Amino acid sequence: MVVKIMLEIQNTVVSLDLLTECFVCDYATCKGICCKEGDSGAPITEEEKLKLEAVLPYVQHLISDEAKALIKTQGVAYKDADGDLVTSIIHGDECVFAYQDETGWKCAVETAFLAGKTDFKKPISCHLYPVRLTEYRKFTAVNYHRWDVCNCACALGKKLQVPLYKFLKEPLIRKFGEQWYAELEVAAEAFLESDYYKHHYKRK
């Protein structure tokens, strides 16, 4: 029998993977391919959909003509096969807000944010990746989503010894708040000092 232990922080249930797995995005290697590949767009909320529509004037010069045409007919988002609201995609995999320069794939929304054109950095699902959230009636599940395009990030994280929850500190605070993250840090420290961790993880 497999016993899966998770952390309960406020109204969330957090996978131990956030504590035990290391991760640091390695853009120099992956070239931002997560913006380009995928079988559906990035999950977004209705509020984020409105923010994406508002940022359109500031990204027109970055996104492709195909993306502009699709946004005109379908909008910035659609409901995928699971009924979830996600960003529109072209070619079956490419987010309409993705664009490519000499260094690799980038997010037009984030580029506009960094240029001071908008206060919306990017959808929280993108900011949190590789963590995925699942909303239930009484709690939110916070899980690590494994994808082979991020293997280089796993390798770099392991080399630098940066656990996932520390790498994602900014977006986790953006989503859940400072107090939530402080509680996660306390729980993480206690778990990483526990006999359970030493016996089941540290020897791997």
List, for residues 162-195, the tens digit of each pLDDT value: 999 999 999 999 999 999 999 999 999 998 888 8
Q: The tokens 């940022």 sit on which residue?
A: 55
User: Mean pLDDT over residues 77-99, rounded?
Assistant: 93
For the entire predicted model, the pTM comes to 0.90
Q: In a 10 Å sphere around its CB, with 0-12 CB exposed, 13-18 middle and 19+ buried, how is residue 129 labelled?
A: buried
CA distances from 202 to 124, 126, 159 (A): 31, 30, 16
Per-residue tokens: 192: 């990483």
Instruction: Read off the pLDDT of each residue in 6-28 and give the average, rounded to a whole number.
Output: 94
23-53: pLDDT as tens digits: 999 999 999 888 887 778 999 999 999 999 9
At residue 35, the pLDDT reads: 84
Report the share of the chain in percent with pLDDT over 70: 97
Q: Mean pLDDT score of the chain, rounded to an integer? A: 92
pLDDT for 12 beyond 60? yes
- SS3 state at 47: helix
CA pair distance 182, 185, nearest whole angstrom: 5
Q: Which residue has the tokens 């009484």?
A: 138
Average pLDDT, stretch 17-27? 95
